[in-house]
Chain A
Amino acid sequence: MDFLLRFRNALVLITVLVAQALALAVQVRTPDNAANPDSHGVRLIRRWTTGVIAPFERGAHSIGWVLRYGWSNYIDLRHVRQQNAELQQQITRMRLNEAAISEDALEGRRLQALLAFKQKYVATTVAAQVIGTSGSDLTHVLTIDKGSRQGIKVDQAVITPDGIVGKVRDVFADTAEVLEINDPTSGAGVVLANTRIRAIMRGTAAGRAQIGNLTADSRIKPGEPVITSGGDQIYPRGLPVGTVESIAPDPDHQPYTAIVVHPAADLNRINEVLVITGTQPDLPADAQQDLATAQAQHAADVAASQLPGLHDSDAQTPTTGATTPPTPGVTPTLTIPHPTPPLHTDRYTSGSTPPASQLAPGAHVTPTEPVPEPQSRKSAPKDSTSPDATQ
């Protein structure tokens, strides 16, 4: 008893340390569910702690937002109508561009379909604001102001227009935690865009995103874009991840190389993110509509190029010789194609049939000498609207 009283301080310390060491041992064992490595107890602790802190975070974020942007928002509102109109026009232009690009990708998708490749397209997203961080430079976790009530679920991908940010690690009622791609416990399936090498990108303790499962390959150069592969079932395929920043031998894992990836999204200064809440195997409805419009437009263009007579000869656009690049400064001329004259005329030869005024019902038709073609018709420039041109 005296021993316990005398060394009670040290005993309490040892008890606390041993308890935490045991807790660590339980946590670092190989998880049954790779997608959710935390055990039930750990999840409860994280949930309670976040539940206590998150309301204060939201409140502080709201106050800070009002203080920082309250007046400027009022000033900006005066120009918002004009900006909205400009943005709508920009969206229209971008949708047309996207449709054109989608059309170019059609062939690739058909080939993928032949290979039974499962493609995922972003169907629905939820915009969220970042209201907090993990507060440490050893871990990289963001807290966002959307949770399960807004449809957020664990393991959903989080992106910005620049590139991927991370995945949802934990979800609460009105907040969620996002594990960034440069956190030591995160991982993503990626593809090096130029060399088409598949790899796994992980975060490091130094807060960098790194590919560490590839051996030395001279084809991989700094500056090569890195995109998501879709193989991790979290990030849809083809999203920008970043660019290769450096390649060096990995001293901790020989003979592998440490390929440091510079993230496309600025992970240190993120204010708004998009959470991908739904994917689908086909293009979204509006994108499909845009694609159909583009295809129809393309078909009309092809048909129009094959009907030169319907075009205005004064137009600057060449309607024939599509493969020949137009000479600068020279107006292209409209050339109407004519068949070569026959060597021996017969009753099918153009101009061999007598005029209708000389014909009688039931009478035998004797082929006549073909009418010589007018000299003017042989000249290249011709009014495309004349009846002859349409024969």
Chain B
Amino acid sequence: MATRSYMSRREAEQQNFSLPVALFVPLAALLLQMMLPRLSPRFAILDLPLIITLFFAISRRAPIAGTITGATIGILQDALSSTPIGVNGMAKSLIGYAAASLGSRIDVDNTATRTLLTFGFSLLQSLLIFLIERRLLGLTGFHMLWLHELLRAVINTAVALPIYLSLNSTRKQL
């Protein structure tokens, strides 16, 4: 006899990833992030770790998982750069939490929603990093170039959409 259980809509739409995908996709994003600026310094405007954090967060729809994913990817990003460890970690923890919380409330599989989410969270991350550098670390020489950050958000959004589409096939429905 088949057993039946009740679950919420959020639980029904939660998606999981295999361990290799969950492990190697963030590593590949970090690796590409380090290597692309060698081809052209303009590629440094990209933030592939942010895109991957957003993808896993809105796909899993679990705020705790989103927080830990964001924190891990952010700390790794900090470890590979010269920034104090925690700058990107804190920003991406918040981004992961917020994206997962939104993902459990709205339909994030829609392309338009994903576009808006990616654009908005890219700008939010710039603001968070500015606040952390300026307020927590006390770097008075750190200035926010809003036009540059706007351009960064547009480019990250444009790059994120095809990445989301290609990574959709790696999802496993629970």
Choose the segment among A53-61, A290-298, A362-370 that binds chain B (4+ C-beta atoms closer than 8 Å).
A53-61
A251 CA to B27 CA in the complex, in Å?
A: 41
What band does the interface of chain B fall in when counting residues whose beta carbon is under 8 Å from A?
35 or more
In the assembled complex, the CB of A119 is this many whole angstroms from the nearest CB of chain B, namely 31
Is B81's CB under 8 angstroms from A23's CB?
no
- Chain A residues lying within 8 Å of B68, measured Cβ to Cβ, are 12, 16
Is A20's CB under 8 angstroms from B63's CB?
no
In the assembled complex, the CB of B70 is this many whole angstroms from the nearest CB of chain A, namely 9
In the assembled complex, the CB of B2 is this many whole angstroms from the nearest CB of chain A, namely 30
Q: Does A52 contact B (CB under 8 A)?
A: yes
A131 CA to B35 CA in the complex, in Å?
A: 7
Known: A9-B64, A28-B138, A135-B33. A130 touches B38 (CB 8 A): yes
Q: Does A173 contact B (CB under 8 A)?
A: no
Is A60's CB under 8 angstroms from B31's CB?
yes
Q: Does A157 contact B (CB under 8 A)?
A: no
A56 CA to B93 CA in the complex, in Å?
A: 26
A134 nearest in chain B by CB position: B81
Q: How many residues of A contact B (CB 8 A)?
A: 48
Q: Does A143 contact B (CB under 8 A)?
A: yes
Is B76's CB under 8 angstroms from A60's CB?
no
Q: Does B58 contact A (CB under 8 A)?
A: no
- Chain A residues lying within 8 Å of B138, measured Cβ to Cβ, are 28
**Chain A contacts with B in 1-49, Cβ cutoff 8 A:** 8-9, 12-13, 16-17, 20-21, 23-24, 27-28, 42, 45-46, 48-49
Which of B41, B68, B86 has most A Cβ within 10 Å? B86
A136's partner among B44, B76, B142 (CB-CB below 8 A) is B44
Which of B80, B93, B141, B145 has most A Cβ within 10 Å? B80
Is B67's CB under 8 angstroms from A13's CB?
yes
Is B79's CB under 8 angstroms from A46's CB?
yes
Is A133's CB under 8 angstroms from B86's CB?
no
Q: Does B22 contact A (CB under 8 A)?
A: no
A185 CA to B30 CA in the complex, in Å?
A: 22
Is B80's CB under 8 angstroms from A134's CB?
yes
In the assembled complex, the CB of B14 is this many whole angstroms from the nearest CB of chain A, namely 14
Contacts A184-B141, A205-B141, A205-B143 given; 6 further ones with Cβ under 8 A?
A8-B64, A24-B85, A24-B86, A27-B85, A132-B34, A135-B81
Known: A50-B80, A135-B77. A21 touches B36 (CB 8 A): no
Chosen A-B contacts, 10 in total, with CB atoms closer than 8 Å, are A9-B67, A13-B63, A21-B86, A24-B90, A42-B84, A57-B35, A133-B44, A138-B81, A143-B34, A184-B139
CB within 8 Å of B: which residues of A? 8-9, 12-13, 16-17, 20-21, 23-24, 27-28, 42, 45-46, 48-50, 52-53, 56-57, 60-61, 130-141, 143, 169, 179, 183-185, 204-206, 252, 268-269
Which of A42, A139, A169 has most B Cβ within 10 Å? A139
In the assembled complex, the CB of B162 is this many whole angstroms from the nearest CB of chain A, namely 20
A140 CA to B140 CA in the complex, in Å?
A: 19
In the assembled complex, the CB of A133 is this many whole angstroms from the nearest CB of chain B, namely 4
- Chain B residues lying within 8 Å of A50, measured Cβ to Cβ, are 79-80
A17's partner among B41, B90, B140 (CB-CB below 8 A) is B90
Q: Does B120 contact A (CB under 8 A)?
A: no
A46 CA to B85 CA in the complex, in Å?
A: 9
A20 CA to B83 CA in the complex, in Å?
A: 13
Is B86's CB under 8 angstroms from A20's CB?
yes
A-B pairs, top 9 by smallest CB distance, nearest first, are A135-B33, A49-B79, A134-B81, A20-B86, A137-B44, A139-B81, A9-B63, A268-B41, A27-B84
A279 CA to B100 CA in the complex, in Å?
A: 55
